[in-house]
Amino acid sequence: MCDATGLLREKCKCYDCQSRIAYDGGFWRDQALRQGPVSRTSWVDLRLNSLPPGVFGETQLDTRPFVITLNPNVVKSRAEVSLAHELVHVLSELYKLDLTHEQIHDVAPFIVSEIVPTINAFNNAT
């Protein structure tokens, strides 16, 4: 049994910690108590709301700004991939890309693992 607690548990990758995070309500467990709008830009309105089991996120493409709803009851790594996945849906709609859902699933983990760290490194260097 791992003895990590609090924020250390969030960073720990062991099965016990990840299972506990999911059970406790996920990475955004504090946010889940105040569900609704989290962030808004001119083109995306990000919300945290409970979704059916197995649904990590959804995007309303027929509204402006687009509305992305994420399930707050998931671990951070799952939430990051879900957000990237939903943003690819938005980009696909904006730029009229002909992407299949399978292609969107394939590109989302790449965004999280390659593009986001590069942006963060650039921001930290400037």
**Looking at residue 115, what DSSP letter applies?**
I
40 beta partners: 45
Q: Which residue reads 């998931």 in tokens?
A: 74
Q: How many CB atoms lie within 10 A of CB 65?
A: 14
- Say if CB 28 and CB 50 are below 8 A apart: no
pLDDT tens-digit map of 20-57: 544 444 444 444 444 566 777 788 999 988 888 889 99
pLDDT tens-digit map of 69-104: 999 888 878 888 899 999 999 999 999 999 999 999
- Closest alpha carbon to 24 in 6, 1, 49: 6
Helices (H), the chain: 6-11, 15-24, 29-32, 76-94, 101-110, 116-125
